[in-house]
A and B are shown apart, each in its own frame.
Chain A
Amino acid sequence: MLVILKRIGIALFTIFVIVSLTFFLVRKTPGDVMQAWAMDLVQTYSMTYEDALSMVQSWYSYDPHQPLLQQYITYISGLLRGDLGKSFIYKVSVNEVLVRALPWTAFVVSISLFLSFGIGILLGMAMAWKRKSFLDPLVTAYASFTGATPDYITALILLIIFAVNLHIFPLKGAYDATITPGLTWPFIKSVLMHAALPIAAYTFEHAASWALAMKGSAVGVLGEDYIMAARARGLKEGRIMIHYMGRNAILPLVTGLAISLGGMVGGSALIETIFSYPGIGWFFAEALTKRDFGLMQGLFLFLAASIIFANLLADILYSVLDPRIKLEG
């Protein structure tokens, strides 16, 4: 128990260090967004460049005259009150942005993770068990192919086949805008239909790498004495595969899953772009390209906290599942 508390303390300290690092890091990022933004605006609003630049300049009230240290202190004290800060450009609170956009990203990414994990470990177990079968090269080839394909291409191909050509799934969005959100079947169905393609894109991309990881882990386990002992005892092949090999091999992967879940806040801006899915990816990209310090800090903080706590959870989980591992304090 004490060890866990200590680890939580370390995690919080880590987050604090990362937050401080980020604070100074984002302000050092080169580039002057105003000129670039003005260049974009002239083409949409038929303005002169000077007009667009003046308009953008009138929007950017950073208050950069406040000394850096003071800004830092204000920011940290806000954090302690649970206020993740405000977007400097759009003046919306980061909390609001997260509440609005994060659920969708979380929804799609967590389902994709669990699906690809599930498929992956089953395939991996089969591959490790039957080392000489055709399954291994097939899955490896598939893994290599999906690995070689960047995720936006997988997404684009799915979009073209299932939405453009076959008209099975909708092209964009999280749900049909004509349906009011609620716990009704039409709404849930709409959400699932809209999430189908993004989930498929994620899963296609990642299932095979879970399979390979599982296979690697399982192969390592296969060499253990207890497998040989189980075989000698005459236990059924299937039982050995699942209960002895599978359960032991899955341990490192479970922690990997926890970590992936933590990192999912980063989402995938590319898949969200292709499917116009209203996730957090858009805000990440906006914050970076528009150098919106407030939004960047808030989102990075959330991402860091998720990853670090997921790491901690993974460590704890691992030590619970594998009694041989001691949780280091």
Chain B
Amino acid sequence: MFGKKKQLWSVLGLLVIVALLVSCATPTPQVIKETVVVTQPPVEITKIVAGTPVVEVVTATPAPKPAQPAIYRAAGGWTKPPAYHGSRFAPGGVGAAWWYVFEPLFYYVPATGDTIMAVAESIDAGTDTFTVKLRKDVKWHDGKPFTSKDVWATLQLRYLQKASIWNFLDKIETPDDYTVVFHWKEPTALAKPIIAGEVLCAPYHIYGKWADQVDTTVASDEEPNKSVMEDLSNYKPEFPIGTGPFKVTTVTASEMILDKFADHYHADNVHFDQVVILPWSSNEVIWAYLMAGEVYRAHPATPKDTTEAIMARQPKMKLALPSDLAQFGIGFNMRIKPFSDENFRKAIAHAIDRKKLREITYYYAGDVDKYAHNVLTSMEERWLSKDLLDSLTVYDYDPAKAESMLKELGYAKGADGNWVDPDGNPLSWEVNCPAGYSDWVLACDELASQLTEFGIPSECRPIENAVFWPQMTSGDFQVAMLWSAVWWGYAHPWRGFNRLFLGDTGKRIGCPPTLPGPDGEEVDLEELATKMGTTTDEAELKKLVETAAWIANEHMLQLPYCEKKLMEFHNYAFVEGWPDVDDPLWSLAGGGAERADVVMMVQGLLKPATK
């Protein structure tokens, strides 16, 4: 046994050595003929010695440089194979390729309200209808022409997914191959953002057989729609088929490769041959990618010092900060005491240093440290008059004021410096946040220590994401870090107020159905929000928004502390032509960072950097 062991080891050792030798050995060159290329007039070499390589002199014509493909490198997330596929109607589809392969009829720029035409040639916004004329030179990635039937098919299938556009739509007509007419149930001022929010992803020649079976007069979870949806969710094409400037060619777990779609109607403007998307695993890795120049544009939430480190490492990197159309906020559970008392909430609002919260947790976010009116600070000027703003209570950081307000309400500070409510019970809270949002965890901890400092001992308790949101919706919390004003999708105050009064945000904090308005009369909040979405009268809209803002602020429904800005790092060392950091084009990134990229590319702005 002993001897055998030794033999075994020596054989193994020999094998290893042999393997190493084989792998290291360089192939012996067989060629003995050398070709020397010269660019000057040829020099005659007359000496030819036997055995030495024969030198053949050739005059060179400058060989054409092999064209280096222009590659654009970004980062994003997608479901890994084998679960990946190309249909947006089943989970695991499309992923980060979304904005590169799918296009809407036109793009809506949130910052200005302008539209940029995509597959649409022109639009005509009527009151009851919205007419879109399509371009005639659009092709799908498989070569088939794009027609109005494809728009119809996409929206039919979106009905199965209860898309909110169908809350407004009565029906869609396609009088000819290149015209689409949307018929609204009621006139709406939101037509442009609503339509711009739908990407064309279901060509009729592929998805037609399902689109034909959809019955939009019946609820989407009843027959026949239910069976159609079930059948549709089993369709898993390998890659998505869209009309966009790039199409997906390779998907692995560690990268996604898209090639330029040569038949795109703006293909001449697109100066990149390939888009390579790296997996967005976590922020620290993206920072490494940015520093290494592996990724040319990304938007990780980055603290001040790390941002400076990235900029130092890549001197040609610039940072644009478009608004992400959302605010981070603090929600109080208005169903329970003491938060049910509006005046208590107002007092506490003065005890919280919102600027510090922003500084510590998301340095580059916009400050929201004066009001709580649920209108994005970056949009304040557009929607709220100076008169209204002047009439609003300012919730500035003033602990002394908070103290006196609390005392007025009957709260007292005990000997240990902690607050006691009028019934004599000490105040002590738990602040919750979703554990997966690390910047919210930081804010949660900071808020807890601020409150403790103020005299209300508070504890930060992160909760796993899947447990957090339902728990908040069921009202099982005291204080929580929540989204405040969120205008994703439409960049319109209606979105934000809809969510606050009627939607998930309102449900979580326990927003009551009616509240006194600026003139003292009770206002039905559902009515207010709905009217905001349907009115086409600019003046009336403004008045409604101001009323809603007043209500949100004066009743201290929730306390925002910063406006999230997307930190768009873009590296001039590899790509040129980026718009200036203040250009409203960057606002297209809100809610879909790649959308901005694609629009910039298709407009011909972006090109590989000249070395």
Query: Would A and B touch once assembled, by the CB under 8 A criterion?
Result: yes
Beta-carbon contact of B254 and A55 below 8 Å: no
Give the segment of B53-61, B79-87, B131-139, B378-386 that binds chain A.
B79-87
Contacts of B486 in A (CB 8 A): 42, 49
Q: Are A46 and B489 in contact (CB under 8 A)?
A: yes
CB atoms of B80 and A101 under 8 A apart: yes
Q: Which residues of A contact B490 (CB under 8 A)?
A: 48
- Is B292 in contact with A90, judged by CB distance below 8 angstroms? no
Using known A-B contacts A33-B466, A163-B292, A278-B254, determine if residue A92 contacts B83 with beta carbons closer than 8 Å: yes
Instruction: Point out the residues of chain B lying under 8 angstroms from A92, CB to CB.
Output: 82-83
Could you tell me the distance in whole angstroms from the C-beta of B30 to the nearest C-beta in chain A? 18
Query: Would A172 and B469 count as touching, CB distance under 8 A?
Result: no
Contact A46 B592 (CB under 8 A): yes
Task: Determine the distance from Cα of A92 to Cα of B233 in the docked complex, in whole angstroms.
Answer: 12
Q: CB distance A101 to B253 under 8 Å?
A: yes
Q: In this assembly, does A273 line the interface, its C-beta being within 8 Å of a C-beta of chain B?
A: yes
- What separation, in Å, do the CA atoms of A31 and B463 have in the docked complex? 10
Contact A89 B92 (CB under 8 A): yes
Q: CA separation between A42 and B90, bound complex, in Å? A: 16
Shortest beta-carbon distance from B34 to chain A in Å: 26
Pair A61/B230 contact, Cβ less than 8 Å: yes
Given the complex of chains A and B, what is the CA–CA distance between A306 and B533 in angstroms? 58
- Is A278 within 8 A of B253, CB to CB? yes
Complex contacts, A164 vs chain B, CB 8 Å: 288, 291-292
User: How many angstroms from the CA of A277 to the CA of B492 in the assembled complex?
Assistant: 41
Q: How far is the CA of A92 from the CA of B89 in the complex (A)?
A: 15
A50 within 8 A of B: yes
Whether A44 contacts B285 by the Cβ 8 Å rule is no
Output the least CB separation between B136 and chain A (Å): 28
**A244 to B23 Cα, complex, angstroms:** 36
- Verify A273–B285 contact, CB threshold 8 A: yes
Size of interface on A: residues with Cβ below 8 Å to B: 57
Evaluate whether A54 and B257 lie within 8 angstroms (CB atoms) in the complex, with A90-B83, A159-B288, A172-B278 already known.
no
Given A49-B486, A171-B288, residue A58 in contact with residue B164 (CB < 8 A):
no
- Are B257 and A177 touching (Cβ within 8 A)? yes
With known contacts A54-B161, A96-B82, A276-B281, A177–B255 Cβ distance under 8 A: yes
Query: Could you tell me the distance in whole angstroms from the C-beta of A98 to the nearest C-beta in chain B?
Result: 10
How many interface contacts (CB-CB < 8 Å) are there between A and B?
168
Contact with A along B567-611 (1 / 0, CB 8 A): 000000000000000000000001110010000000000000000
On whether the beta carbons of A48 and B164 are closer than 8 Å, the reply is yes
Task: Give, as a whole number of angstroms, the nearest-CB distance from B21 to chain A.
Answer: 14
Rounded to whole angstroms, the CA-CA distance of A177 and B161 in the bound complex is: 35
A53 nearest CB neighbor, chain B only: B504
A42/B81 in contact, CB under 8 A = no
Task: Indicate whether B142 reaches chain A with its CB closer than 8 angstroms.
Answer: no
Cβ–Cβ contact B285 & A274, under 8 A: yes
Does A291 touch B at the CB level, under 8 Å?
yes
Per-position binary interface string of chain B over residues 220-247, scored 1 when its CB falls under 8 Å from any chain A CB and 0 otherwise: 0000000001100110100000000000
Q: Name the residue on A nearest B294 (C-beta).
A: A171
Residues from chain A with a CB closer than 8 A to the CB of B284 are 156, 274
- Contact A100 B466, beta carbon cutoff 8 Å: no
B-chain residues with CB within 8 Å of residue A56 when the two chains form the complex: 91
Quick check: B82 and A89 within 8 Å, CB to CB? no
A157 to B591, CA, bound (A): 32
How many angstroms from the CA of A146 to the CA of B250 in the assembled complex? 38
> Cα distance A273–B79 when bound, in Å?
14
Are B161 and A42 touching (Cβ within 8 A)? no
A160 contacts partner chain B, Cβ-Cβ < 8 Å:
yes
Do B591 and A45 have beta carbons less than 8 Å apart?
A: yes
Q: State in angstroms the CA–CA spacing of A197 and B191 once bound together.
A: 52
Residues of A within 8 A of B197 (CB): 46-48, 51
Find B164's partner among A50, A172, A274 (CB 8 Å cutoff): A50
The reply to whether the CB of A144 lies closer than 8 angstroms to some CB of chain B is no
Q: Contact between A45 and B592 (Cβ–Cβ < 8 Å)?
A: yes
A163: B residues at CB distance < 8 A:
288, 292
Whether B467 is near chain A, meaning CB under 8 Å from some CB there, is yes
Interface contact A44-B77, CB-CB below 8 Å = yes
Separation of A48 and B444 alpha carbons in the complex (Å): 25
**Shortest distance from the beta carbon of A298 to any chain B beta carbon, whole Å:** 13
The listed residue (B281, B470, B495) touching A273 by CB distance below 8 A is B281
- Can you name 27 A-B pairs with beta carbons within 8 Å? A32-B466, A32-B467, A32-B469, A33-B466, A42-B488, A42-B591, A43-B324, A43-B488, A43-B591, A44-B591, A45-B591, A46-B488, A46-B590, A46-B592, A46-B595, A48-B495, A49-B499, A51-B161, A51-B164, A55-B161, A57-B162, A58-B229, A91-B90, A163-B292, A273-B285, A274-B284, A276-B254
Starting from the known contacts A100-B82, A164-B292, 8 additional A-B residue pairs (CB-CB under 8 Å) come to: A46-B590, A50-B164, A51-B197, A54-B162, A58-B160, A177-B257, A278-B253, A286-B79
Residues of B within 8 A of A (CB): 23, 77, 79-83, 89-92, 98, 160-164, 197, 229-230, 233-234, 236, 250, 252-255, 257, 278-279, 281-282, 284-285, 288-289, 291-292, 294, 324, 434, 464-470, 473, 486, 488-490, 495, 499, 503-504, 590-592, 595
